[in-house]
Amino acid sequence: MTSLVKDPARDFSHFLAPGPENRVRMDFVVDGIHCAACAARIERAFGGEPDLSLARVNLTEKRLTIEWVEAKRADPPQILARLEALGFSGHPFRIAEREASEKAEEARLLRALGVAGFAMMNIMLLSVSVWSGHETGLSRETRDFFHWISALIALPTAAYSGHPFFDSAIRSLKARAVNMDVPISLGILLALGVSVFETLNSGEHAYFDGAVMLIFFLLIGRVLDQMMMRRTRAVASNLAALRSETVTRILPDGTLREMAAATIEPGDLVLVRPGERIGVDGVIERGTSDLDQSLVTGETAHQAVSAGADVHAGTLNISGTLEIRVRHAAASTLLSRIEALLATATEKRARYVRLADRAARAYAPVVHTTAALTFLGWLAYGLGWQPSLLIAITVLIITCPCALGLAIPAVQVVASGAMFRRSILLHAGDALERLAEVDTIVFDKTGTLTLPEPIIANRADIPERLLTIAGRLALSSRHPLAQAIVAAGSADNPFRDVREWPGQGLEAVDSRVTIRLGSPGFCDATEEAARVAAAYPEASLIAMRCETDVVVFAIRQPLRADARQTVKTLKTLGLELEILSGDRDVPVAKVAETLGIENWRAGVEPGGKVARLEELRAAGRKVLMVGDGINDAPALAAAHVSISPVSASDLAQAQADLMVMGKALAPIADAITIARKARRLMTQNLWLAVIYNAVAVPIAIAGLATPFVAAIAMSGSSMIVTLNALRARTGGVKT
């Protein structure tokens, strides 16, 4: 490769990002990439370049990451030229441009789908008239008139609505490769060509309806894929919102200076005020506070911290001012490692090859070779080039990949509707196939097996008068534990002049009576707290003192109402179950014991969850990950397939393949049974297409079928595949 081009009109220098050891990297958006085979072909093309240390394709984001061995060897224009030679188009990656481009592409596909659907309905009306006319004595002039009207509708429709397939096929052929869109495009063009020929010669049969119908159904699959992929990427960038771009550093002389987080080094001392996100990993040297550490532990309850406690970038400081000694900053923080885990896991999962892609790899060359050999064989037999070509065209029409092209999308559409009726939303087009292969389920605990909203476990032991007093004081706090007390009572008038003691609790004076709500030590309630803790070891404790009255609230997140039944159902489906949680041992053990799940681990950080999933993958397991927190996002991306509840964080939802609406867990079992049935139907449809070809192709090769018979057979195979797909409407666990 040559050095970086200096043409100002094509200056890519501001897109280059520094990498380790004098390397630079750049991200490119790749248009026209639809499957894992395309991604593998791009990586193989760049893999042998000595100037490149990395060439990686993220299929989900349609992004190519290139890393040069040395900065001076960077040549983005040559990367773009190589992509063009491979049959793809590319441009530098910009988030705003990518989102705008995806919205435009989605709108373009929807317009194409609308045009194809409208045209298909009108052409079918004309075709029905022609078909019925064969029995009722329709005149030749009227039949030709209907055919010409069909042609006037079908030809512009195919030119407009078929462009996604035609463009892809042309790019593939230019790169001297064959993808699934090549036989699809060829089948459409041949069906239209034969129909025009028949219409010009007053033939009885035309196939405009079949060609437009094929375009319509294939566009449904293409639109669904585009919408799912865009929705998945739309909120994936929310992780950046947790990053603090600036940090307040405490200089040796005690003065404060606002600095870019990237310039902070280990050993520096930084100040974090209440309401700010921590921008570094480190240890608290001075101060007490409450932290939202859901990023690290998945636990939504705020954690009280003081000097000596470890903290991580991305966590939110709630109440007190902290001075933190830096251990890791910039790219070394836990937040950055989560981002790296997320990117790596997403890329690995994106390499999954769909059933349709696998079938297409063998299908396309076989079809074209068969048609070519048929033409040459009859020509050698002495039949003449015109009848030989007609037989070859018949072979291509009869093997037109209608059935193959509809085999998967038709089942996806029907199964997606069945899942929606059971409160399940699909985020990924191939999620059904991957979900059907699952043999192991890994659950997060907090917010997944349990409800995200905490409750008072010992509510029956709390006098109503004291609950009301505690609720009035809790109205002055945003702490989740305090909100649980508010929700349990009926207090609506907070105390005035409430004082907050950072990291300890709240205090108010009413009618000369001091009232405190907070930690047991703050409320001088350690003895009562010990008694409550013994009865509710998995709960978080918050105390209240009003003169001599003392109560301790045991607050926990309850199990989802159907958790036990769902776990039992999943076991009957032959699935192995496991819990991976960032929470403490006691609450995780309690949940595992209650649900009868033998394998569980507590205190697991995001990297540990991904490592465990890799262990299971290496053991040959196909894992479904169910989680809801930011800390679960890398694991959700790393799993074979993943599900998150509707209450999950935006980032978790972005990485999940499916989302469960409502508070029930039962839809998870429904999703698995529907997916298993859908995969069986997909496989059946592919075999129906194979059997159809095994019967029809020899007849066509022998010259015993006309193009009309081929078109009827093609339509019949599509009808059978579609009717079989409708069986996916029923599914789920029978209760």
Show which residues are catalytic. 444
What's the token pair of residue 639?
A: 């799993």
In sequence order, the 6+-apart residues with CB closer than 8 A to the CB of 462 are 456, 551, 553
Whether residue 401 contacts residue 675, with contact meaning beta carbons closer than 8 Å, is answered with no
Amino acid at 531: R
Whether residue 599 contacts residue 577, with contact meaning beta carbons closer than 8 Å, is answered with yes
Give CA separation, 374 vs 403, 478, 696, 707, 708, in Å: 22, 76, 14, 15, 18
Give the SS3 label for residue 303: strand
Q: What is the C-alpha to C-alpha distance for residues 467 and 462, in angstroms, rounded to an integer?
A: 6
Q: What is the C-alpha to C-alpha distance for residues 462 and 445, in angstroms, rounded to an integer?
A: 27
Amino acid at 528: E
Choose among 482, 441, 394, 438: nearest CA to 696. Answer: 394
How many degrees, rounded to 5, is the angle at CA 655 between CA 653 and CA 660? 40
List phi, psi (to 5°) of 240: -65, -25
Q: Which residue has the tokens 């048929």?
A: 374
Residue 631 carries which DSSP code?
G
Neighbours of 567 (CB within 10 A): 23
What's the token pair of residue 126?
A: 């004309």
Q: What is the C-alpha to C-alpha distance for residues 693 and 369, in angstroms, rounded to an integer?
A: 14
Alpha-carbon Rg for the chain in angstroms: 32
Whether residue 444 contacts residue 298, with contact meaning beta carbons closer than 8 Å, is answered with yes
Q: What is the C-alpha to C-alpha distance for residues 148 and 51, in angstroms, rounded to an integer?
A: 58
Whether residue 189 contacts residue 182, with contact meaning beta carbons closer than 8 Å, is answered with no
Q: What is the C-alpha to C-alpha distance for residues 94 and 566, in angstroms, rounded to an integer?
A: 43
Burial class (CB in 10 A: 0-12, 13-18, 19+), 677: buried
Neighbours of 385 (CB within 10 A): 11
Torsion angle defined by CA atoms of residues 449, 452, 457 and 459, in that order, rounded to the nearest 10 degrees: -150
Whether residue 13 contacts residue 31, with contact meaning beta carbons closer than 8 Å, is answered with no
CA-CA-CA-CA torsion sign (335, 337, 343, 348): negative
Strands 549-556 and 303-305: unpaired
Give CA separation, 697 vs 192, 369, 714, 718, in Å: 20, 12, 11, 16
List phi, psi (to 5°) of 426: -90, 135
Whether residue 543 contacts residue 519, with contact meaning beta carbons closer than 8 Å, is answered with yes
Whether residue 31 contacts residue 12, with contact meaning beta carbons closer than 8 Å, is answered with no
CA 136 to chain centre: 54
Whether residue 523 contacts residue 545, with contact meaning beta carbons closer than 8 Å, is answered with yes
Amino acid at 713: A
Q: What is the C-alpha to C-alpha distance for residues 631 and 267, in angstroms, rounded to an integer?
A: 26
